[in-house]
Amino acid sequence: MPILTKAIKGTQDVLPQESHKWRFLEQSALEVAENFGFREVRTPVFEHTELFQRGVGDTTDVVQKEMYTFLDKGERSVTLRPEGTAGVVRMFLEHGLFNEPMPQKLCYLTSCYRYEKPQAGRLREFHQFGVECFGTASPAADAEVIALAKQLFDFLGVHDLQLELNSIGCKDCRKEYHKALHDYFSAHKDALCPTCLDRLDRNPMRILDCKVPSCGEIAKNAPKVTDFLCDDCRAHFEAVQSFLRQMNIPFSVNPSIVRGLDYYSRTVFEFVSTAIGAQGTVCGGGRYDGLVEEIGGPHTPALGFGLGLERLMLLMESQSLPFPEADKCSLYIASMGENATQRAAQIAAALRQEGVHAEFDVVGRSVKAQMKFANKIGAAFTLVLGDSELESGKAVLKNMDTGEQTDVTLDSFEGDFMRISISAQLKEMEDLGFDTNIDLDAIFNHN
The answer to whether 358 and 331 are in contact (CB under 8 A) is yes
Is the preceding omega at residue 213 within 30 degrees of 0, hence cis? no
Low-confidence ranges of the chain (pLDDT < 70): 59, 260, 277-279, 425-447
Q: What are the respective helix, strand and coil percentages of the chain, to the nearest 5?
A: 45, 20, 35
Please list, in sequence order, all residues whose beta carbon lies within 8 angstroms of the beta carbon of residue 188, skipping any fewer than 6 positions away. 218
- The reported pLDDT for the residue numbered 426 is 65
Strands ordered across the beta sheet of 125-134: 39-40, 104-113, 125-134, 302-308, 281-287, 265-272, 162-167, 252-253
State the burial class of residue 269 (Cβ atoms within 10 Å of its Cβ: 0-12, 13-18, 19+): buried
Distance of alpha carbon 90 from alpha carbon 94, whole angstroms: 6
- CB burial of residue 187 (10 Å; 0-12, 13-18, 19+): exposed
What confidence score (pLDDT) does residue 280 get? 84
Chain centroid to Cα 274, Å, comes to: 20
For residue 216, the model assigns a pLDDT of 86
Structure confidence by residue, pLDDT tens digits, 219-274: 889 999 999 999 999 999 999 999 999 999 999 999 888 876 778 899 999 999 97
SS3 of 149, please?
A: helix
331, containing H or E segment: strand 331-335
Q: Give the count of alpha carbons within 13 A of 60, CB side only.
A: 20
- Could you say which DSSP state residue 63 is in? I
**What is residue 120's predicted lDDT score, i.e. its pLDDT?**
78
Task: Say what the pLDDT of residue 209 is.
Answer: 78
- The three-point CA angle 117-255-252 to 5° equals 95
Task: Show me where the domains of the chain are located.
Answer: 16-170+230-318, 331-444
Domain spanning 331-444: which superfamily?
Anticodon-binding domain (3.40.50.800)
Tell me if 135 sits within 8 A of 300, measured CB to CB. Answer: yes
Q: Residue 324's pLDDT is what? A: 92
> What is the CB-side half-sphere exposure of residue 232 using CA atoms within 13 A?
10
DSSP 64-92: III--EEE-TTS-EEEE-SSSHHHHHHHH
CATH superfamily of 16-170+230-318: Bira Bifunctional Protein; Domain 2 (3.30.930.10)
CA 257 to chain centre: 23
Residue 134, class by beta-carbon neighbours within 10 Å (0-12 exposed, 13-18 middle, 19+ buried)? buried
pLDDT confidence of residue 421: 87
Distance CA 311, CA 126 (A): 9
